A and B are shown apart, each in its own frame.
Chain A
Amino acid sequence: MRVALAVPCYVDQLRPETARATLILLERLGCEVSLAFDAPCCGQPMANVGATDNALAAAACWTRSAAPFEYVVMPSGSCVNHVRHHLGDAHSARVTYELCEFIAGPLGRTRITGAFPHRVAMHLGCHAQRGLRLGGSTELNQPLSGPMYSLLSGLDGISIVPQSRRDECCGFGGSFSIGEPEVSAAMGRDRLRDFAANDAEVLVSSDVSCLTHLESLLAGGAARLRTLHVAELLEEATR
């Protein structure tokens, strides 16, 4: 299956290993991956503060880049949520998938063979959780579920640790982390406390933005927690 890898702006610049892991993983699963998708950003950072005019150029560039493809895969629930629900382009909305959603959906692999013998805390980003509905929500009395959960829980040796507030926000929220730094950091620290209380060795997230925020708060206390994007974890588990 031919897919385009769309790399979110902050992943490209701050965590390229997530994009490389996504590329390797998709190829390992039999995809032909094109890196010709060159739009830097979907425009969400601007749109989410209400500056929709400033998001237009990025959105137009994104739409142009997506046009030739039938599948566009992103290692980010947040960007895909923006593309699907806010970009205003029907083609982009139809062809763009979050990584695990793509693997379990169009690729038809709800389980992949691999091993990851560690205690893992799962943090699905809020936009993957409630925007794309890629995880069961406590608000809706749904069990822990969804493509990321099923791919992870299918790995040999993995233990997904319980959490007292499993779908609580990490506090990043884009501009929120800058506009309300105290609340933002308090939310992140509470998530880390929850992971630590359940003896997690590894934190895995659908979104680099959540990971970056939680990582930034690790210095000091719970420094032993290893942080991985789900693409990195799955790539490592399937080597």
Chain B
Amino acid sequence: MTNTHADAAATFLGNAPSARAHDDALWFIRGKRDGASNIPEWEALRTAGAALKAHAMGSLAELLESFEARATAAGVTVHWARDAAEHNAIVLDILRRHNARRVSKSKSMLTEECGLNEHLEHAGIEVIDTDLGERIVQLAGEGPSHIVAPAIHWRKEEVAELFHRKLGTPIDESSPEALAAAARVHLRDSLLHADASITGANALVAETGGVVVCTNEGNADLGMHSAPVHIVCVGLEKIIATLDDLAVILRLLARSGTGQPITVYTTHVTAPGPGAEMHVVLVDNGRTARLADAEFRSALHCIRCGACLNTCPVYRRSGGYSYGHVIPGPIGAILAPAVNLEQHKSLPFASTLCGSCGDVCPVRIDIPAQLLAWRGRVARAGKLPASYRSGMRYLGGTFGNAERFARAGRRLRWALRALPWLLRGRWNPWTRVGRALPVAPAESFREWARRTGRNQ
């Protein structure tokens, strides 16, 4: 199988201490999430979250137009971008009109999706990611490996070494407090002196025309309030109808993502500051096409909390990069195939279908069902690995007939007893990772039942 996820995961697991730290760190967050969600109304909140997102996607056009009308009336310029290229061009155009050379940017998966940093840097504009985790991976020349905790795959000793090289901190200083303090000094300068500020958005509220930005570091607020130009880059699925809906989203988001009751900074921006400009770039980039696909539509409800990543036993042991897509983890595995089925065909199989992701999703996206449905799409597109295709054809012809099944079973058990050395070859993924072959009984249950006359 050209199984990109499995191969990348094996490489990730090859560094055992790092992989264990990754698993432990994410499991810790999952535990915090369990604690924070232990409130009587939690399941009702999830149901309300699912309903309000379904409603928003069902009235997408009118809600977006309502948002646009109110935001425009408040002095915000609203732009519509069909795809990543249009989005990048709009942002660059705004920055050029302001002769911006240096831009501060808070966390935004949308700009990662669109490759905005590369686009702006290519045009000679310096982009400084101001979220601490984002800045770590940016200084290292990487992208985020997690949608909420971008540098979760970094250990503090590694960050110390990176900061020593890039920010001149002492080589032996690896306490999280000291590293955060060094980053704060470094980032504050960028935030206060940037020519423009780019932020993402966690929600767009149709009834107020407001943009809601949630952070734990306050970096988005410092940036947007210091710079003369604020550009909000946002996927159009972030629209919700009302402030009541926002209350539900805000209660779900941080509890699910990090186990906090609410993010430290939750900002509702409705107009540009005095003498400043504010732009909102609404990006489609495949979202309306997904809306047209009833089977996978609800994946658009995702509020990017990261809970499904933290709980996923496969993500925890394979790392974000193993998914080869900007959004990793279970939600990434159902989003990516719609972007490019050939490229991401291994992702729906990067799951044991254990179901945990579906149970933590704050908006009740049935991720396990969609993983299974994507497997069906991969199969029907003829993109299953050849070994799966021939194997499943064989099983299909054998397992639907008691006699053929009994014969095949006898052959398998004989092989397990007579040829274990052959079955233990390097080619066998079962034994290659140190798993013993099952001990084959001499007699199947049905053979026993027939022999003892119990099958009557």
Contact = CB atoms under 8 A, between A and B. Distances in A.
B73 interface: no
A126 B352 contact: yes
A178 B430 contact: yes
Contacts of A140: 43, 359
A50 B395 contact: no
Given A7-B445, A13-B412, A14-B440, A183 B399 contact: no
| Interface size, A (range) | 35 or more
B433 A15 contact: no
B377 A50 contact: yes
B286 interface: no
Contacts of B44: none
Interface stretch (A87-95, A169-177, A197-205): A169-177
A1 interface: no
A47 B356 CA distance: 20
Given A35-B449, A35-B455, A181 B430 contact: yes
A50 B379 contact: yes
A12 B429 CA distance: 23
Interface string B417-456: 0000000000001101111111011011110110000111
Contacts of B456: 35-36
B354 A173 contact: yes
Given A12-B446, A172-B352, A183-B9, A52 B430 contact: no
A68 to B, nearest CB: 14
Interface in A202-225: 212-213, 215-219
B430 A216 contact: yes
Given A126-B352, A137-B359, A58 B396 contact: yes
Given A16-B445, A138-B34, A215 B436 contact: yes
A85 B3 CA distance: 28
Contacts of A186: 13, 19, 317
Interface in A1-58: 7, 9, 11-17, 19-20, 23, 35-36, 38-41, 43, 45-58
Interface string B378-405: 1110001000110011011101111001
A184 interface: yes
A56 B395 CA distance: 11
B438 to A, nearest CB: 5
B351 interface: yes
B247 to A, nearest CB: 22
Contacts of B23: 190
B311 interface: yes
Chief secondary structure at chain B's binding surface: helix
Given A48-B353, A57-B401, A139-B360, A19 B445 contact: yes
Nearest to A39: B402
A51 B392 contact: yes
Contact of A165 (B27, B42, B353): B27
Given A141-B42, A180-B6, A126 B354 contact: yes
A236 interface: no
A104 to B, nearest CB: 21
B409 interface: yes
A177 B430 CA distance: 7
A176 B352 contact: yes
A187 B355 contact: no
Interface string B333-366: 0000000000000101111111110111000000
Nearest to A8: B445
A48 B388 CA distance: 11
Contact of B413 (A13, A38, A39, A60): A13
A120 B444 CA distance: 28
A130 B87 CA distance: 41
Interface in A109-158: 126-127, 129-131, 137-141
A45 B412 contact: no
Given A16-B443, A141-B42, A212-B438, A52 B395 contact: no
Interface residues of B, number: 78
A178 B387 CA distance: 11
B372 interface: yes
B399 A16 contact: no
Nearest to B23: A190
A52 B395 CA distance: 12
A179 interface: yes
Nearest to B315: A183
Nearest to B410: A13
A139 B356 contact: yes
A33 to B, nearest CB: 9
B444 A12 contact: yes
A217 B429 CA distance: 13
Q: Residue among A13, A41, A59, A216 with the most chain B CB within 10 A? A: A13
Interface in B5-49: 5-6, 9-10, 13, 19, 23, 27, 34, 37-38, 42-43
Interface string B221-259: 000000000000000000000000000000000000000
A182 B401 contact: no
A168 B446 contact: no
A55 B360 contact: no
B396 A51 contact: yes
Contact of A182 (B1, B375, B379, B433): B433
18 contacts: A14-B441, A16-B444, A17-B441, A35-B454, A40-B399, A50-B377, A55-B396, A56-B396, A130-B354, A139-B34, A173-B353, A174-B352, A175-B349, A177-B430, A180-B350, A182-B6, A212-B438, A216-B438
